[in-house]
């Protein structure tokens, strides 16, 4: 954490009890499939190790990351739970992945060969049992994954490798959040066709199969298989607007309360000045104040993840329990907020960028709507120089393997 995070009056509040609740609700929805908590990208900006612990305590059976380095962070944090690496590790990272007990995803022959070499170097298949790996199939996302034809050949080679254990076969959905689209059903059909081809070729069955992300777990029951991989929903946000009513139905079905946003983003006002109507503030002097008001300076800017577009998009901040619009262009380290004269705003007042204050609320979805993006991007872009505070008191005890 940069030194600035020690003294700066700005912070994220991460509610670990909300993580536990969300994990429990998602595990109930998916059951009997198990829940894999996706904690890549610093747990979507919420802080990897505390969130991983809370998710496991709430009902997740394992974790998933995008990078070997993220798995290293979990192990360094004392977490011995199963960890799936969702992308094929680079050849020079495979040794560390297997040595730490991470489960790499494979989808190329080079990746398979790197995994075999690393496993042999660790004595797998000889002095110790084979090490688990999984194969990812591209059924239409077209990002990474083996094509259906290549998957059959890859699994055949994997099945013949005594150093490796063919633990899983999986795929990833492109539009599961679009409940009205038929494409997710098509992806499930393509995945099933690959499974049938593998069986017809006489190849062994993997110990598990999985396909569902958050949207799949909620809205596509046929995709739940043995495991669901939940990311954004774990943090309290629906994967998309079409999923919202389905999520409500599924929560009611299992008797669970609504998902709770885990993150709040707050700061202390550092300065308040009064300006007349028509005054123009900040870089570019882009717009006049509509009325005489108090202008509060909040110590967060685009270097922290507050997009410059938030001003143009009509963004607001909560101060004194009121929605107060931005008063000028967002700068690197600070932003300006127009507060009514009657608010009596003062330095030291709490400002809320994401979260609740009084009877008002600003959500990551609102930010996303104003910026033309998704809530995933809003929460993951919050910079590491904003310190994280955990509302659940002392971080939970170490998760056992």
pLDDT of the residue at 325:
97
Q: Which of 220, 254, 288 is the last residue of a domain?
A: 254
Q: Are residues 275 and 207 in the same domain?
A: no
Whether residue 397 is contained in a domain is answered as no
How many other C-beta atoms are found inside a 10 Å radius of the C-beta of residue 6? 8
CATH code: domain of residue 235: 3.20.20.10
Report the CATH number that the domain containing residue 309 is assigned in CATH: 2.40.37.10
Reported as a single tens digit per residue, the pLDDT across 273-282 is 999 999 999 9
Q: 52 and 164 share a domain?
A: yes
H-state helical runs in 220-316: 244-254, 309-312
Tell me, yes or no, whether 222 and 274 share the same domain: no
Which tens digits make up the pLDDT trace of 162-193? 999 999 999 999 999 999 999 999 999 999 99
Tell me the average pLDDT of the chain. 95
Query: Do residues 197 and 330 share a domain?
Result: no
40 is an active site residue = yes
Q: Which residues pair with 318 in a beta bridge?
A: 323, 352
Q: What pLDDT score does 344 carry? A: 84
Number of folded domains that form the chain = 2
Residue 15 has pLDDT above 60, yes or no: yes
Q: Which two tokens stand for residue 383?
A: 């910079």
Given 40, 44, 107, 136, which residue is catalytic? 40
Report the percentage of the chain scoring pLDDT > 70. Answer: 96
| 369 confidence band (pLDDT: 50, 70, 90) | very high
Judgement on whether residues 119 and 238 belong to the same structural domain of the protein? yes
Q: Are residues 281 and 179 in the same domain?
A: no
From 254, 272, 293, the end of a domain falls on 254
Please check whether residues 35 and 95 belong to one and the same domain.
Answer: yes
pTM across the whole model? 0.94
CA 105 to chain centre: 19
Q: Are residues 44 and 90 in the same domain?
A: yes
pLDDT in tens, 20-30: 999 999 999 99
Asked whether residue 137 falls in the same domain as residue 160, the answer is yes
**In this structure, are 200 and 335 located in the same domain?**
no
Instruction: Evaluate if residue 345 carries a pLDDT over 90.
Output: no
Q: pLDDT tens-digit profile of 46-77? A: 999 999 999 999 999 999 999 999 999 999 99
> Residue 234 sits in which domain range?
16-254
Is there a single domain that holds both residue 147 and residue 169?
yes
**Quick count: other Cβ atoms within 10 Å of Cβ 191?**
24
**In-domain check, residue 6:** no
pLDDT of 6 over the 80 cut:
no
pLDDT value, residue 8: 83
What average pLDDT does this structure show over 2-14? Answer: 74
Does the annotation mark 136 as catalytic? Answer: no
Based on the fold, state whether residues 247 and 336 are members of the same structural domain.
Answer: no
> Is 112 within 8 Å of 102 (Cβ atoms)?
no
Q: Is residue 390 in a domain?
A: no
**pLDDT score for 397:** 37
Query: What are 115-158's pLDDT values in tens digits?
Result: 999 999 999 988 899 999 999 999 999 999 999 999 999 999 99
Q: Catalytic: which of 107, 266, 275, 283? A: 283
Q: Which residue has the tokens 């108090």?
A: 294
């Amino acid at each position: 954490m940069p030194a600035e995070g020690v003294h700066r009056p700005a912070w994220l509040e991460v509610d670990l009890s909300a993580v536990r609740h969300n994990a429990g609700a998602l595990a109930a929805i998916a059951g009997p499939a198990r829940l894999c908590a996706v904690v890549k990208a610093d747990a979507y900006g919420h802080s990897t190790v505390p969130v991983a612990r809370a998710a496991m305590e709430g009902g997740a059976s394992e974790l998933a990351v995008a990078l070997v380095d993220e798995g290293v962070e979990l192990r360094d944090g004392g977490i011995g739970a199963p960890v799936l690496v969702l992308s094929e590790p680079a050849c020079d990272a495979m040794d560390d992945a297997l040595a730490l007990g991470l489960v790499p995803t494979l989808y190329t022959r080079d990746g398979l060969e790197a995994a075999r070499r690393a496993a042999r170097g660790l004595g797998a298949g000889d002095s110790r049992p084979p090490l688990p790996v999984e194969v990812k199939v591209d059924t239409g996302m077209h990002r990474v994954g083996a094509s259906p034809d290549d998957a059959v050949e890859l699994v055949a080679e994997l099945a013949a490798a005594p150093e490796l254990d063919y633990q899983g076969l999986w795929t990833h959905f492109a539009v599961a959040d679009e409940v009205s689209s038929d494409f997710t059903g098509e992806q499930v059909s393509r995945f099933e066709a690959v499974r049938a081809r593998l069986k017809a070729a006489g190849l062994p069955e993997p110990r598990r199969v999985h396909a569902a992300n958050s949207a799949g777990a909620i809205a596509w029951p046929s995709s739940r298989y043995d495991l669901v991989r939940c990311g954004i929903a774990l943090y309290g946000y629906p994967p998309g607007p079409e999923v919202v009513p389905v999520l409500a139905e599924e929560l009611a079905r299992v008797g669970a309360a609504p998902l709770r946003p885990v993150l709040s983003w707050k700061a202390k006002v550092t300065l308040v000045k009064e300006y007349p109507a028509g005054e123009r503030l900040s870089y570019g002097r882009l717009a006049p104040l509509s009325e005489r008001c108090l202008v509060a300076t909040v110590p967060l800017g685009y270097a922290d993840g507050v997009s410059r577009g938030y001003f143009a998009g009509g963004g607001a901040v909560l101060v004194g329990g009121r929605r107060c619009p931005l008063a000028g262009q967002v700068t690197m380290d600070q932003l300006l907020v127009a507060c009514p004269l009657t608010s009596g705003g003062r330095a030291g007042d709490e400002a809320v960028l994401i979260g609740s204050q009084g009877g008002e609320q600003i959500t990551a979805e609102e930010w996303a709507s104003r910026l033309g993006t998704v809530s995933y991007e809003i929460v993951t872009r919050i910079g590491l120089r904003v310190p994280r505070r955990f509302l659940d008191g002392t971080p939970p005890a170490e998760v056992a393997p």
